[in-house]
């Protein structure tokens, strides 16, 4: 019980702050509460399938397969698979982090994991069609071309920024979960 | 499908799914409240003013800051961006907003650190921010 309260401390404090603001400036408090509710409902409709998939991925795909396709030395094929995996996803970026955690546990290379994250953030296929419909095809295609280069570059930079010991620590962190 | 193939494994998968979800739930709820508060203060009119016509390089910077901090789902963000374009915002500002919105997540940093640790999270977000600015400049020039 005490542990639970501690874990949710920040949330509880923020909720309290929201209530206080609501008492002082009812207008802002009310709107904020409304927005939080709408967002929560929306997230709850998107998140469960992602987490179920994550669970299935963890149970059904064994480590050897994951290493073969996206591990160190999977080369261009691994990059391509990570791009496709990320692009096929749906949902906000923060939902990708736990999936990335499972990929790490299964032995994907860090570069590929960051490519997966980048693809999830930017090149999701449903989002691209929607972007083209709202902002036009030239805008979308220019941005997509830049993003593919950018995502790969960011993945390499992030991976290079960690030394071997830090990488090992990261992998270890996800082994235990 | 998974259920019929192996009942035990499916149960385990669901258990893991729940564990992973509960693991991020505290931060997740906190983030939702922060977004609610931020948007209650920051109205659409204010955003339009910030990124509107002739806002120039400052508009690009403002757009990138707003994009980095906020967390708007794409199907809300794109119509908003389209509306901004119609109201005179430039492609450069819009590109900065859209790119940072997708790639940079300031409020989700605590969640990201749980997966990637402090260093990788910071490096990823900073390089994504720099990339978004570069992409915005290129798009602004190409689509003039």
- B87 and B137, same domain (yes or no): yes
Contact of B15 with A55, CB cutoff 8 Å: yes
Structural domain range at position B71? 43-142
Q: Are residues B94 and B136 in the same domain?
A: yes
pLDDT band at B123 (very low <50, low <70, confident <90, very high): very high
Instruction: Say yes or no: B76 and B126 in one domain.
Output: yes
Same domain, B36 and B49: no
The DSSP output letter for A71 is S
CA distance A54 to B16: 8
Interface of B with A in 77-106 (CB under 8 A): 78-79, 81-82, 85, 91, 94-95, 98-99, 102-103, 105
- The DSSP secondary-structure symbol of A161 reads T
Q: Do B102 and B136 fall into the same domain?
A: yes
Chain B: nearest CA to A168, how far in angstroms?
12
User: Hey, which residues 89-148 in chain A have their CB within 8 Å of chain B?
Assistant: 92-94, 97-98, 100-102, 104, 110, 114, 117-118, 121-122, 124, 127, 130-131, 133-135, 138-139, 142-143, 146-147
Structure confidence at residue B53 (pLDDT): 55
Same domain, B63 and B85: yes
- Same structural domain for residues B70 and B4? no
Average pLDDT over residues B12-18: 79
List the single residue in A with minimal CA-CA distance to B94.
A135
Of A9-18, A63-72, A154-163, B44-53, which gets the smallest average pLDDT?
Answer: B44-53
Contact B81 A51 (CB under 8 A): no
Flag if B143 and A162 touch (Cβ within 8 Å). no
Kindly report the average pLDDT of chain A as a whole number: 82
Q: What ranges in A61-161 are assigned the alpha helix state H?
A: 63-70, 75-87, 96-105, 110-122, 125-135, 137-160
CA-based diameter of chain A, in Å?
Answer: 59
Distance CA A34, CA B135 (A): 35
d(CA B45, CA B83): 11
Residue B129 has a pLDDT of 96
Chain A interface includes B109 (CB < 8 A): no
Clarify whether residues B54 and B8 are in a common domain: no
How far is B13 from B92, CA to CA, in rounded Å? Answer: 44
Same domain, B113 and B48: yes
B10 touches chain A (CB under 8 A): yes
Mean pLDDT of A147-154: 95
Asked which of A73-87, A152-166, B36-50, B116-130 is least confident by mean pLDDT, the reply is B36-50
- Distance from the Cα of A33 to chain B's closest Cα (Å) equals 6
* Cα torsion B1, B5, B11, B14: sign: negative
User: CB distance from B127 to chain A under 8 Å?
Assistant: yes
pLDDT exceeds 70 at position A58: no
Identify which of A10-24, A146-160, B33-47 has the greatest average pLDDT: A146-160
User: Domain total for chain B?
Assistant: 2
Do residues B37 and B47 share a domain?
Answer: no
Specify the pLDDT at position A125: 81
Residues B98 and B113 in one domain: yes
Cβ neighbors of A161 (< 8 A, separation 6 or more) are: B119, B120, B123
């Amino acid at each position: 019980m005490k542990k639970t309260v501690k874990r949710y401390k920040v949330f509880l404090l923020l909720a309290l702050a929201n209530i206080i603001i609501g008492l002082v400036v009812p207008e802002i408090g009310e709107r904020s509460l409304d927005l939080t509710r709408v967002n929560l409902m929306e997230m709850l409709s998107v998140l469960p399938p992602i987490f179920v998939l994550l669970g299935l991925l963890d149970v059904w795909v064994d480590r050897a397969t994951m290493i073969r396709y996206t591990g160190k030395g999977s080369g261009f094929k691994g990059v391509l698979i990570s791009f496709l995996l990320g692009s096929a996803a749906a949902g906000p970026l923060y939902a990708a982090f736990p999936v990335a955690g499972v990929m790490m546990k299964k032995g994907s290379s860090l570069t590929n994991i960051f490519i997966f994250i980048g693809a999830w953030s930017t090149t999701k296929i449903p989002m691209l069609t929607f972007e083209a419909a709202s902002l036009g095809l030239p805008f979308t295609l220019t941005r997509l071309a830049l993003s593919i280069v950018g995502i790969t570059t960011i993945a390499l930079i992030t991976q290079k920024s960690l030394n071997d010991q830090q990488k090992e620590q990261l992998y270890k962190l996800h082994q235990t979960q | 499908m998974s259920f019929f193939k192996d009942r035990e494994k499916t149960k385990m998968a669901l258990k893991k799914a729940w564990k992973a979800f509960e693991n991020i739930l505290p931060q997740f709820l906190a983030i939702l409240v922060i977004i609610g508060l931020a948007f209650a203060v920051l109205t659409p009119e204010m955003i339009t003013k910030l990124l509107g016509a002739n806002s120039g390089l400052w508009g690009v910077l403002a757009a990138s800051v707003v994009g980095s901090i906020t967390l708007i789902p794409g199907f809300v963000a794109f119509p908003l961006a389209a509306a901004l374009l119609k109201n005179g915002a430039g492609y450069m500002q819009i590109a900065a907003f859209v790119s940072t919105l997708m790639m940079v997540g300031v409020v989700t940093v605590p969640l990201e650190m749980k997966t990637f640790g402090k260093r990788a999270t910071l490096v990823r977000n900073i390089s994504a921010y720099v990339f978004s600015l570069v992409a915005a400049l290129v798009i602004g020039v190409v689509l003039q």
